[in-house]
Amino acid sequence: MQEETHRVLIDKYLTNSLTESEKGSFILLLEDPEFKEAVLHEKRVVAAIKASEKAKLKAYLKGISANTPISENQNTRYFKKLWIAAASVLLIASIGYFFYISNQPISSQFEEFYELYPAVTIQRGEGEAISNALQLYSEGKYQEAATELAVFANPDQPVYYLYLGNCYLQLEESQKAIAAFEALIEVSNDSILTQHSQWYLVMAYLQSNEPEPLKALLHKIIDQQGMYTELASKLLNKID
């Protein structure tokens, strides 16, 4: 189990998709010589695959040719076999690298596309309790904020579902975030608020690695030609 956790952390490090909490764990693990060596090994593997370009391979084989004292017929047969072997190695390396990249979870895109929804509704005249909840949210105290916002998020005050869902995203509780954004979409009559909710629901699907509902919602956002259409198109291109 621990080994699998380390494997996931290393993969996410190599694809620059570590969350802030994972970055802290990763840095601590680097103090372990075995873990550090595993990271370096994986970096070397990826670098070697990337470096396996046809031109470099050809130059390498030409170097062997210049230093191999065999007859012309032997040379022809030898290099035919060698080229086949080299081509096979290159193909396997290329396929391996392709699957390494293509098998990365869609959540690896989360950090690039997610941006916390700002606490824009903090203003005079609001109740003390909700102001305190939004202040906690602004200070990054998402667990405390979520506890309080859960009390205020309801059909009469749907905007607080948006803040609540973002708290859950920050806490990496994707399913709770999905429920919050879906609840907002269901009750909201405000087109702007609905668009925000749809986009953050996309982020929740992304974080929880749910490609089917994610892609369906991205297509819907693109068709709506609203404020998130450009971002939705960019994300869809990256995960398709």
- pTM of this structure: 0.58
Sole residue written with tokens 């819907």:
220
Cα 193 from Cα 201, distance rounded (Å): 12
Burial label, 125 (beta-carbon count in 10 A; 0-12, 13-18, 19+): exposed
Cα 149 from Cα 137, distance rounded (Å): 9
CATH dotted code for 109-239 = 1.25.40.10
Locate the domains of the chain by residue range: 1-51, 52-104, 109-239
Q: Tell me the pLDDT of the chain (240 aa) as tens digits.
A: 566 677 777 877 777 778 888 888 888 888 888 878 887 877 776 666 555 545 555 554 455 445 545 444 544 454 455 445 454 544 444 444 444 444 455 677 888 899 999 986 554 445 788 889 999 999 999 999 999 999 999 999 999 999 999 999 999 999 999 999 999 999 999 999 999 999 999 999 999 989 999 999 999 999 999 999 999 999 999 887
